[in-house]
Structure 1
Amino acid sequence: MLLPLACLAVGALAQFGNNGAPFPEVTYEDAISPNPDVVAGAQSNQRSPPKYPSPWGSGAGEWAEAYKKAIDVVKQLTLEEKVNLTTGSGWQQEQCVGQTGGVPRLGIRGQCLQDSPVGVRYTDLVSVFPAGINVGATWDKRLAYERGKAMGYESRDKGVTVQLGPVAGGLGRSPEGGRNWEGFSPDPYLTGKLFADSIRGIQSTGVQACAKHYVGNEQEHFRQTPEARDYGFNISEPGSSNIDDQTMHEVYAWPFADAVKAGVASFMCSYNLVNNSQACQNSYLLNHILKDELGFQGYVMSDWQATAAGVPAVLAGLDMTMAGDIRFGDGASYFGPNLTIAVLNGTVPQWRLDDMVTRILAGWYLVDGDAEIELPNFQSWTPYTNGAVHAHVGPTWGTGVVNKHVDVRREHGRLIREIGAASTVLLKNTKGALPLTNKEKLTAVIGEDAGSNPTGPNGCRNHGCDVGTLGVGWGSGQANFPYLISPDAAIQHEVTSRYGSYESITNNSAFTQIDLLSKRVTEAAGVCLVFANADSGEGFINIENNFGDRKNLTLWQGADAMIANVSASCNNTVLVLHTVGAVEIDQYKNNENITAILWAGLPGEQSGNAIADVLYGRVNPGAKLPFTIGKARSDYGTDVLYTPNQPVPQFNFREGVFLDYRSFDARNITPVYEFGFGLSYTTFAYSNLRVEKLSAEPYTPSSGSSEPAPTYGSIDNRTASHTFPEGFTKIPLYIYPWLNSSSLNASYGAPGYGDNSFIPPGSRDGSSYSHAPASGPNGGNEGLWEPLYRVCATVTNTGSVAGDEVAQLYVSLGGEYDPKVVLRGFERVGIEAGESVEVEFELARRDVSSWDVVKQDWVVTEAAKKVFVGKSSRLLELEGDLE
Structure 2
Amino acid sequence: MLAAVACGGAPQRSGDVALYLDESQPLEKRVADALARMTLEEKVALLHAQSKFSSAGVPRLGIPEVWCTDGPHGIRPEVLWDEWDQAGWTNDSCTAFPALTCLAATWNPEMSALYGRSIGEEARYRGKDVLLGPGVNIYRTPLNGRNFEYMGEDPYLSSRMVVPYVQGVQQNGVAACVKHFAVNNQEVQRHKVDVVLDDRALNEIYLPAFRAAVQQGGAWAIMGAYNKYKGEHCCHNRYLLNDILKRNWGFDGVVISDWGGVHDTREAIFNGLDMEFGTWTDGLNWGATNAYDNYYLARPYLELLRKGEVGTEELDDKASRVLRLIFRTSMNSRKPFGSLCSPEHNAAARRIAGEGMVLLRNEGGVLPVDLSKVKTIAVVGENAVKMMTVGGGSSSLKVKHECTPLEGIRAAVGDRAGVIYERGYVGDVTGDYNGVVTGQDLSEKRSARALIDDAVAAARRADAVIFIGGLNKSDHQDSEGADRLQLGLPYGQDEVIEALAAANSNLAVVLVSGNAVAMPWVERVPAVLQAWYSGSEAGNALADVVFGAVNPSGKLPFTFPARLEDCGAHAAGEYPGDGERVVYRDGIFVGYRWAEKENIKPLFAFGHGLSYTTFAYGGVESDRTSLTASGKLRVRVDVTNTGSREGAEAVQLYIGDEESSLPRPVKELKGFEKVRLAPGETRTVTFDITPDMLGYYDDAKGAWVVEPGEFTAYVGAASDDIRGRVVFTLK
Mapped partners of 2:706, 2:56: distance in 1: 47
Residue 141 (1) aligns with residue 88 (2): no
Q: Deviations over 1:532-576 (max 9, x none)?
A: 111357xxx567999621000111333112112211111111100
Mapped partners of 2:36, 2:392: distance in 1: 44
The aligned counterpart of 2:431 is none
2:553 counterpart letter in structure 1:
G
Mapped partners of 2:514, 2:717: distance in 1: 23
Mapped partners of 1:692, 1:354: distance in 2: 53
Distance 1:355 1:674, change over 3 A: same
Distance 1:304 1:521, change over 3 A: closer
Mapped partners of 2:272, 2:60: distance in 1: 28
Distance 1:835 1:286, change over 3 A: same
The aligned counterpart of 1:433 is 366
Mapped partners of 1:498, 1:187: distance in 2: 44
Q: Deviations over 1:797-834 (max 9, x none)?
A: 11111101000111113324101111111111111110
The aligned counterpart of 2:554 is 623
Q: Is 2:378–2:458's contact at 8 Å kept on the other side of the alignment?
A: no
**Where does structure 2 lack aligned partners over 5 or more consecutive residues?**
1-24, 79-91, 426-446
Q: Deviations over 1:307-333 (max 9, x none)?
A: 111122221111111135677435121
Residue 500 (1) aligns with residue 417 (2): yes
Residue 132 (1) aligns with residue 100 (2): yes
1:579 counterpart letter in structure 2:
S
Q: Counterparts in 2 of 1:217-616, with a 5 A limit? A: 217-224=184-191, 238-261=192-215, 262-323=217-278, 328-329=287-288, 331=291, 332-366=294-328, 369-371=331-333, 407-409=340-342, 411-439=344-372, 440-451=374-385, 468=386, 470=388, 474-495=392-413, 497-508=414-425, 511-512=449-450, 514-515=452-453, 518=456, 521-522=459-460, 526-535=463-472, 548-585=482-519, 587-591=520-524, 594-616=525-547
Mapped partners of 2:578, 2:211: distance in 1: 32
Q: Is 2:654–2:713's contact at 8 Å kept on the other side of the alignment?
A: yes
Distance 1:545 1:828, change over 3 A: closer
Mapped partners of 2:628, 2:723: distance in 1: 32
1:608 positional shift: 0.9
Name the Cα RMSD after superposition: 2.7
Q: Counterparts in 2 of 1:780-799, with a 5 A limit? A: 788-799=632-643
Mapped partners of 2:536, 2:391: distance in 1: 13
The aligned counterpart of 2:618 is 687
Residue 805 (1) aligns with residue 649 (2): yes
1:837 positional shift: 1.3
Q: Is 2:265–2:301's contact at 8 Å kept on the other side of the alignment?
A: yes
Which range moved further: 795-804 or 475-484? 475-484
Mapped partners of 1:310, 1:695: distance in 2: 55
Q: Deviations over 1:698-720 (max 9, x none)?
A: 68xxxxxxxxxxxxxxxxxxxxx
Q: Deviations over 1:156-190 (max 9, x none)?
A: 11111000000012x11111001111011011111
Q: Is 1:155–1:161's contact at 8 Å kept on the other side of the alignment?
A: yes
Higher relative contact order (CA 8 A, sep 6+): 1
1:473 positional shift: 5.7
Q: Is 2:112–2:164's contact at 8 Å kept on the other side of the alignment?
A: yes
TM-score in terms of structure 2 length = 0.85
Q: Secondary structure at the match of 2:125?
A: helix
2:397 counterpart letter in structure 1:
A
1:287 positional shift: 1.1
Residue 81 (1) aligns with residue 50 (2): no
Distance 1:373 1:294, change over 3 A: closer
2:150 counterpart letter in structure 1:
G
TM-score in terms of structure 1 length = 0.71
Mapped partners of 1:697, 1:568: distance in 2: 60
Q: Deviations over 1:450-500 (max 9, x none)?
A: 11xxxxxxxxxxxxxxxx2545760002212222211111212222x2342
Q: Secondary structure at the match of 1:864?
A: strand
1:99 positional shift: 1.1
Distance 1:290 1:275, change over 3 A: same
Mapped partners of 2:280, 2:461: distance in 1: 65
1:655 positional shift: 0.4
Q: Secondary structure at the match of 1:876?
A: strand
Q: Is 2:696–2:705's contact at 8 Å kept on the other side of the alignment?
A: yes
1:135 positional shift: 0.5
1:310 counterpart letter in structure 2:
T
Q: Is 1:158–1:374's contact at 8 Å kept on the other side of the alignment?
A: no
Identity of aligned residues (%): 32
Q: Secondary structure at the match of 1:871?
A: strand
Q: Deviations over 1:102-136 (max 9, x none)?
A: 01232211110110111111243211110000011
The aligned counterpart of 2:438 is none
1:859 positional shift: 1.5
The aligned counterpart of 2:682 is 836
Q: Which residue among 154, 165, 169 is the counterpart of 1:198? A: 165
Mapped partners of 2:596, 2:563: distance in 1: 15
Distance 1:512 1:317, change over 3 A: closer
1:503 counterpart letter in structure 2:
I
The aligned counterpart of 1:460 is none
Which range moved further: 659-668 or 119-128? 119-128
Mapped partners of 1:427, 1:161: distance in 2: 39
Q: Deviations over 1:548-607 (max 9, x none)?
A: 21000111333112112211111111100001210001x33211xx22110001111111
1:518 positional shift: 4.0
